[in-house]
């Protein structure tokens, strides 16, 4: 559930910043809906953990209050001519401290070596993507090479060197926890050892304040898994003058009261509150009116939610479908025209429209492409799509380029010529504890069934996961960087293992792109890979995280969208006002 906090964390973090210098140390209050399950910042990219660990730890670089990438623990970063070797000089006297603020050890280059090895041992999704970029890392993680061959070196206590498999603007990657440091002595004191993967006795990163060290803006002072979490300012932090609230409190929202955050905001306990899109329309409109002139809109992030098919699904003995129906479903999901029929039958704008019917809010997150490569990349991508059904379509964000019920019926006719029998029944699983997803699953069902005149039937299955479903709405890409490679490399991890000729062709495109050295030619190859996925309907892009309307006492300008990784969850630079902040 990597993105479960995004709706309300966007409200926190896109509204974090600087301004009210009269009361810079006002306490900050927030809320969380997903209880943290670990504090291992090198291994977990889950939002339910990052909202804490991003404030406890720091890496080589960070994004500042203006959205510029600047040194954090690193005082400088230099590369060789082709950007395949990067050397970072570390600041001296950066201290690891325990939860009581007592100094433990100095942060050194060797800590980054330890951190990387542990991250590769844990084999997180971020580690799998990053491993492609560092010499020897993928071989070590796959068990076919030694860590001694991995391209990282602590040349001395304050000099850290990375050797890459291809040219890369590597400093931007160092804001991700997978490249953060770990003190080896402390790590081993928690019954952990390097090269040991998921050791059951290792306690590093377990929840609670004493299972990690701190080198970031805050310390964990009070922890209740589903209660209250308190942070206090780390007075040993290197940049403490830019950390304003001396205390931060997060309150657990169990979801039983849809107005939990708003009530705490109006009681003065938390510093912001989303005006929730899932409220009844009259309720939503009432709060929009109440806070008129003070409602800010936090834009979606750079992730991508998408529909993911499961053509390799193994059906249990209790399946309601006959062997013939199961075989027909498998054949349908492997058929390009059938997938395109679903793509063009799905009204994504309606799907993204919140229950409050604020359609403009929903369309802010609508995406027609997989990657965020900018206008120049989109031009290349559109050229690669010539000859496909997407030829000539405007793929810019914010408007549905795919929805076309007439085209859907044409694709169904072509699928029928390939021997598919209609109607085709598809089982769609969704989380049992997410009423918002239940609502969206119903919209997907109604949209597809109506557009295809019932030739495709969606059977909703509450609580079923991907392995128990023919398709899922919960696919998500959270790339390490905004370049197309990062999006597409992560997509490979979702499609890996699917016995489908189109997927194999996509993987061939990706291997060709990864082996291409020339930057312009490399972009062309990635555009070819993305064009193939879109034209084959291998996934259906839906959108980024939801935009959110927020009332807040955090006074600032929006954080630039370039703020990524751990920086997207940090409370550094934040000012809390005594009064409501006007909308801009």
pLDDT of residue 317: 62
The alpha carbon torsion through 149, 152, 153, 154 (nearest 10 deg) reads -140
Distance between CA atoms of residues 389 and 396, nearest Å: 16
Task: Please write the tens of the pLDDT for every residue from 276-307.
Answer: 888 889 999 999 999 999 999 888 888 899 99
* Cβ contact 194:141 at 8 Å: no
Residues forming CATH 3.10.105.10 domain(s) in the chain: 304-543
166 CA to centre of own chain: 24
pLDDT of residue 185: 98
State the average pLDDT for the chain: 89
Residues forming CATH 3.90.76.10 domain(s) in the chain: 37-214
Sign of CA dihedral 61, 225, 28, 284: positive
Q: Please give the CATH topology (third level) of the domain spanning 304-543.
A: Dipeptide-binding Protein; domain 3 (3.10.105)
* Cβ contact 529:515 at 8 Å: no
Task: Count Cβ atoms below 10 Å from residue 4 Cβ, excluding itself.
Answer: 16
State residue 56 phi and psi, 5-degree precision: -95, -25
Res. 165: pLDDT tops 70: yes
State residue 29 phi and psi, 5-degree precision: -125, 140
Distance between CA atoms of residues 488 and 495, nearest Å: 10
Res. 367: pLDDT tops 80: yes
Task: Please write the tens of the pLDDT for every residue from 250-283.
Answer: 999 998 999 999 999 999 999 999 998 888 899 9
Distance between CA atoms of residues 355 and 440, nearest Å: 9
475 strand-pairing partners: 306
Q: Find out whether the peptide bond into 44 is cis, omega within 30 degrees of 0.
A: no
Q: How many residues does the chain have?
A: 584
Res. 10: pLDDT tops 70: no
* Cβ contact 277:260 at 8 Å: no
341 conformational bin, left if phi > 0, alpha if psi -120 to 50, beta if neither: alpha
Res. 338: pLDDT tops 50: yes
Res. 559: pLDDT tops 50: no
State residue 307 phi and psi, 5-degree precision: -85, 130
Residue 180 token pair: 């953060």
Residue 563 confidence class, pLDDT cut points 50, 70, 90 = low
Distance between CA atoms of residues 509 and 528, nearest Å: 7
Domain 37-214 CATH superfamily: Dipeptide-binding Protein; Domain 1 (3.90.76.10)
456 strand-pairing partners: 424
């Amino acid at each position: 559930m990597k993105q479960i906090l995004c709706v309300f964390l966007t409200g926190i973090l896109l509204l974090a910043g600087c301004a009210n210098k009269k009361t810079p140390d006002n306490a900050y209050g927030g809320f969380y809906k997903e209880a943290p399950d670990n504090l291992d910042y090198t291994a977990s990219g889950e939002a339910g953990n990052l909202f804490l660990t991003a404030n406890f730890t720091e890496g080589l670089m960070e994004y500042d209050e203006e959205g510029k990438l600047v040194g954090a623990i690193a005082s400088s970063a230099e590369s060789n001519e082709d950007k395949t070797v990067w050397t970072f000089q570390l600041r001296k006297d950066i201290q690891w401290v325990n939860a009581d603020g007592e100094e433990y050890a100095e942060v050194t280059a060797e800590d980054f070596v330890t951190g990387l090895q542990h991250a590769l041992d844990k084999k997180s999704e971020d580690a799998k993507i990053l491993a492609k970029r560092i010499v020897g890392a993928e071989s070590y993680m796959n068990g076919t090479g030694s860590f001694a061959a991995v391209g990282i070196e602590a040349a001395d206590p304050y000099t850290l060197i990375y050797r890459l498999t291809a040219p890369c603007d590597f400093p931007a990657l160092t804001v991700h926890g997978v490249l953060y440091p770990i003190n080896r002595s402390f790590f081993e004191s928690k019954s952990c050892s390097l090269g040991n993967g998921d050791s059951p006795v290792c306690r590093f990163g377990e929840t609670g304040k004493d299972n990690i060290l701190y080198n970031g803006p805050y310390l964990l002072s009070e922890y209740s898994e589903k209660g209250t979490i308190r942070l206090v300012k780390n007075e040993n932090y290197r940049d403490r003058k830019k950390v304003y609230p001396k205390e931060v409190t997060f309150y657990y929202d169990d979801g039983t009261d849809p107005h939990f955050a708003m009530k705490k905001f109006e009681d003065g306990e938390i510093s912001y509150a989303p005006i929730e899109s899932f409220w009844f329309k009259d309720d939503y409109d009432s709060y929009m009116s109440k806070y008129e002139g003070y409602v800010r809109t936090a834009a979606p992030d750079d992730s991508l939610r998408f529909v993911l098919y499961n053509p390799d699904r193994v059906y249990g003995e209790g399946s309601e479908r006959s062997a013939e129906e199961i075989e027909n479903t498998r054949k349908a999901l492997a058929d390009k025209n059938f997938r395109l029929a679903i793509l063009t039958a799905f009204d994504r704008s309606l799907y993204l429209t919140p229950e409050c019917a604020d359609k403009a809010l929903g369309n802010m997150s609508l995406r027609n492409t997989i990657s965020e490569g900018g206008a120049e990349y989109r031009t290349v991508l559109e050229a690669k799509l010539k000859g496909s059904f997407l030829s000539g379509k405007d793929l810019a964000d914010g408007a549905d380029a795919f929805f076309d019920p007439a085209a859907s019926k044409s694709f169904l006719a072509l699928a029928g010529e390939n021997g598919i029998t209609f109607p085709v029944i598809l089982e769609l699983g969704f989380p049992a504890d997410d009423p918002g997803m239940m609502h969206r699953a119903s919209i997907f069902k109604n949209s597809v069934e109506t557009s295809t005149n019932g030739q495709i039937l969606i059977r909703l299955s509450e609580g079923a996961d991907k392995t128990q479903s023919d398709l899922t709405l919960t696919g998500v890409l959270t790339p390490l960087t905004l370049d197309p490679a990062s999006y597409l490399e992560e997509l490979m991890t979702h499609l890996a293992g699917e016995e489908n000729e189109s997927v194999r062709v996509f993987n061939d495109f990706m291997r060709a792109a990864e082996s291409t050295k020339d930057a312009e030619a490399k972009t062309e190859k990635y555009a070819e890979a993305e064009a193939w996925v879109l034209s084959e309907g291998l996934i259906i892009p839906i959108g980024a995280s939801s935009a959110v309307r927020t009332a807040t006492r955090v006074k600032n300008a929006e954080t630039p969208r370039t703020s990524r990784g751990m920086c997207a969850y940090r409370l550094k630079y934040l000012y809390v006002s005594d009064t409501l902040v006007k909308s801009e």
